Structure 1
Amino acid sequence: MNTNQSPFKYILEGPTGATTNIQNKEMLYFAGVGYFQLHNHPDIIKASIDALQKYGISSATSRSGIGTTDLLLELDTKIAEFFDTDDAVYLPSGYLSNIAGIQALKAMGRFDIIFMDEVVHYCNEEAALTAGVPIFTFKSRDSKDLEHQIKTHLKASEKPLIVSDGMFPVWAWMAPIPEYLAIAEKYNGVIWVDDAHPVGIIGTNGRGTYDYFKLKSDRLFMGATLSKAFGAYGGFIPGSEEFIYHVKHGHVIDGSSSPVSAAAGAALKGLQLVGENPQWREQIRKNAVRLKDGLRAIGLEIEHNDFPITSFKVGGAEQMQKIHAELFKRNIYIQYTKYIGAGPEGVLRTVMFSTHTNEQIDHLLDNLKTII
């Protein structure tokens, strides 16, 4: 093992956007998850600076100590309003939202055993371990196998927790939550969804997976992040008054430092901007369809959806790495990744922003035609 080799191969030299400076080269950029490219929006930068000047970096204690400012309370309220729930809570990171949410459900006695999609994001695996209950996996997005596992392992007196990503980050596959909900109702269970990618970009109101499927139930729970579509940073959990009470009184809130004020200020503005500009969601869908149609025209197998993430395979790992490197030489950056769900050979992965132009998308397609 070469411990001197850095895992950070590509270094950004400025903010991300449709064009991004990577290692002193201006690149057409089709990566990351800044779907509306708000991370450098002037209104968000100003809101972040204003919060920093008023509150300093942070309160240097946990939210349950003396670390909750009026800024954080306002953000809790605005998150609840955006997601149309009784209450919400803002957390230092999206990664922590899964731990906090699952621990709160355990404290409420809502489950005794966990059934988890086999390719969930590892933050959910780690969150499940903190519950101290048996954990069983089921085939990804397979409701029949989920029910089989429940029938096999659930005792008569037990209640199940079903854990899944809402949208899986490599292929942008949606979990079949309506089918899971029917199973949860049948076995008196609940569902936890890590909704990091869908929030802000899908659903009638941009509220993510449950909004996309038009579902409401007291068996449905979720957590997510403000670091993607909303142009900020930090995690959050919306929900009922009782559920959020248990989140606020849990170990994550009690034991972690209060979130950074600049991020909270940015998040407030990001929620406002995304709420006021539904046309951004429409534009990102149009861009996604343009790219996917163009990739199919080249002869690639592409999912039939209008989600901004598009992944594809071309040959094996070596060939995909060569395609990635050749695009980089041509000042175009897409990802070659072996992220969760990509498989051992990896995939080539692109992400559309609402700010990509037709010309930029077509330039990527034209170059891929000459390389593949």
Structure 2
Amino acid sequence: MSNKVLNDFLTNNLEDLSEKGLLNTIDVIEGANGPEITINGKKLINFASNNYLGFATHPELIEAEVEAAHKYGVGAGAVRTINGTLDIHRSLEKKIAEFKGTEAAIAFQSGFNCNMGAISAVMKKGDAILSDELNHASIIDGCRLSGAKVIRVKHQDMEDLEAKAKEVTESGEYNKVMYITDGVFSMDGDVAKIEEIVKIAEKYNLITYVDDAHGSGVMGGGAGTVKHFHMQDHIDFQMGTLSKAIGVVGGYVAGSEQLITWLKSQARPFLFSTSLTPGAAAAALKSIELMQENPNYVDKLWENANYFKEKLQEIGYDIGVSETPITPVIVGDESLAQKFSQELIAHGVYAKPIVYPTVPLGTGRVRNMPNAGHTKEMIDQAIEVYEKVGKNLGII
């Protein structure tokens, strides 16, 4: 029999979430998460996945994972610091560092683990972190865990960043100061002003940390936002995932040899959680090799994204300030965004609503993630649905 206090807490709060329309509903995909998906027996054009390059179902990645499982087994068997570091992990880390243009890299079990472990390994009580106000939840949690003073910086506002950097560094209160930002912001698709950030950081001696979860495999020929701006020698931490464009699962931090050595001795998820599966490491390694060998994967992603965005704007949609394949269709009202998504799905396009508190109140939207696997026919079909549904709901 469950505890009454717990039972009451869960019942009351689940009812409250349900009444507010905030209780998660989880759709189950029948088969692979590709450019098209099947849910409840219905085929849908998929614009909700982070599988930017279509690598989650790429035959060469599948083959690499299967071969590694046969060679190493399905699990690594231990944490990295005991005897869970296999040669495939080292090969992956060397490849990441080469691709990102850094001295070294460290692989984690997830991108969330990267931010939880890497930030708190370096930033401590007595330090300060300047953090863009729209940074990802994992950054927010990693900053809180560190014990450092967290100071919010207005989104992409370089004047505010400089003013706060000047204030905290001249105060003499803090041992060290970090500025942390997403490379590509996941809700609006805008890109961090890396060159301006570097100038301010070097002026005030800030440690720099770029979470490039949505930039890796997308920007800079796939090597990421920092590489796109040729700033790999000026950014201290380049964090990314292996689970979005890379198509597998896991995360990494790339940086100096000294930084990576420190993280391998201090980052708690690395120390206390069994390492990345050998199959995932091998598949991620193959993914990076494919991007290096064939730029057409990334080129196709951008071709599809630009075409999709152009067509949406032609029929009258507001796609905000997106500079990347992330394509929000902003409708404003939260209830309308929910209804919009439901109608799109009913007509064969799978795109999910994003509403407050994930985005500011009054900026409800449906977020689209076109990928390299979409055909022109799929995109054209989706645009027809968008036009029909938008007119029916009075959005366009």
TM-score by length of 2: 0.87
Give, as a single letter, the amino acid of the residue that structure 2 aligns with 1:237.
V
- What is the distance in 2 between the residues matched to 1:19 and 1:91? 30
Please show how residues 7-26 of structure 1 align to structure 2 within 5 Å.
Answer: 7-26=24-43
- Using the alignment, how far apart are the partners of 2:64 and 2:70 within structure 1? 10
- In structure 2, the partner of 1:308 is 325
Correspondence list, 1:315-330, <5 A? 315-330=332-347
Give the C-alpha shift of residue 246 in structure 1: 0.5
Q: Does the alignment pair 1:186 with 2:166?
A: no
SS of the residue corresponding to residue 57 of structure 2 reads coil
Instruction: Check if 1:223 corresponds to 2:204.
Output: no
Tell whether 2:310 aligns with 1:293. Answer: yes
Distance 1:340 1:161, change over 3 A: farther
Of the structure 1 ranges 133-142 and 92-101, higher mean CA displacement relative to structure 2 is found in 92-101
Question: CA–CA distance in 2 between the matches of 1:338 and 1:353?
Answer: 23
Q: Counterparts of 1:328 and 1:187 in 2: how far apart (Å)?
A: 49
Q: Tell me, what secondary structure is at the counterpart of 2:209?
A: strand
Cα distance in structure 2, aligned partners of 1:189 and 1:315? 37
Indicate which of 360, 365, 378 corresponds to 1:360: 378
The question of whether the paired residues in 1 share the 8 Å contact of 2:325 and 2:370 is answered with: yes
Q: Deviation at 1:218?
A: 4.3
- Asked if structure 2 preserves the Cα contact closer than 8 Å seen for 1:35 and 1:354, the reply is yes
Q: Is the 8 A contact 2:190 2:323 kept in 1?
A: no
Q: Whole-Å Cα distance in 2 between the matches of residues 304 and 289 of structure 1? A: 13
Q: In the alignment, residue 253 of structure 2 is paired with which amino acid?
A: I
* Contact 1:285 1:306 (C-alpha < 8 Å) held by counterparts: no
- Confirm whether residue 237 of structure 1 aligns to residue 253 of structure 2: yes
Contact 2:111 2:213 in 1 (8 A): yes
CA distance in 1, matches of 2:296, 2:371: 13
Give, in whole Å, the separation in 2 of the partners of 1:273 and 1:71: 17
Residue 145 of structure 2: aligned partner: 130
The yes-or-no answer on 1:114 pairing with 2:133 is no
User: Shift of residue 116 of structure 1?
Assistant: 0.7
- Report the Cα distance in structure 2 between the residues aligned to 1:267 and 1:340, rounded to whole angstroms: 33
Give the residue type in structure 2 aligned to 1:241.
E
Q: CA deviation at 1:237?
A: 1.2
Q: Deviations over 1:32-58 (max 9, x none)?
A: 110011111111111111111222222
Note if contact 2:115-2:138 (Cα within 8 Å) is conserved in structure 1. Answer: yes
Contact 1:76 1:87 in 2 (8 A): yes
Q: Which amino acid is 2:238 matched to?
A: M
Amino acid at match of 2:269: V
CA distance in 2, matches of 1:55, 1:216: 33
Deviation of 1:358 after TM superposition, in Å, equals: 1.4
**Equivalent-residue separation in structure 1 for 2:42 and 2:340 (angstroms):** 18
Mapped contact 2:187–2:328 kept (Cα < 8 A): yes
Q: How far apart are 1:351 and its partner, in Å?
A: 0.8
User: Aligned residue for 1:165?
Assistant: 182
Q: Who is 2:156 aligned against?
A: 141
Distance in 1 separating the partners of 2:223 and 2:122: 21
Q: Using the alignment, how far apart are the partners of 1:33 and 1:113 within structure 2?
A: 32
Shift of 1:307: 1.7
Gaps (5+ residues) in structure 2? Answer: 1-11, 391-396
Aligned partners of 1:14, 1:323: CA distance in 2, in Å?
Answer: 25
Write the letter of the residue equivalent to 2:146: A
Give, in angstroms, the shift of residue 343 of structure 1: 2.3
Deviation, 1:217, is 3.1
The match for 1:266 among 283, 295, 298 is: 283
Q: 3-state DSSP class of the match of 2:26?
A: coil
- 8 Å CA contact retained: 2:318, 2:331: no
Runs of 4+ in structure 1 displaced over 6 angstroms? Answer: none
Task: Please list the CA deviations of residues 229-275 of structure 1 after superposition, one character each: whole Å capped at 9, or x if unmatched.
Answer: 11111111111111111111112321121112221121111111122
Contact 1:128 1:135 in 2 (8 A): yes
**Among 343, 349, 361, which residue is 2:367 paired with?**
349
Deviates more, 1:211-220 or 1:78-87: 211-220
More displaced 10-residue stretch of structure 1: 129-138 or 215-224: 215-224
Q: What pairs with 1:37-48 in structure 2 (closer than 5 Å)?
A: 37-48=54-65
Question: What's 1:196 paired with?
Answer: 213
CA-CA distance at 1:306 after TM superposition: 5.3
Instruction: Answer yes or no: is the 8 Å Cα contact 1:167–1:173 preserved in 2.
Output: yes
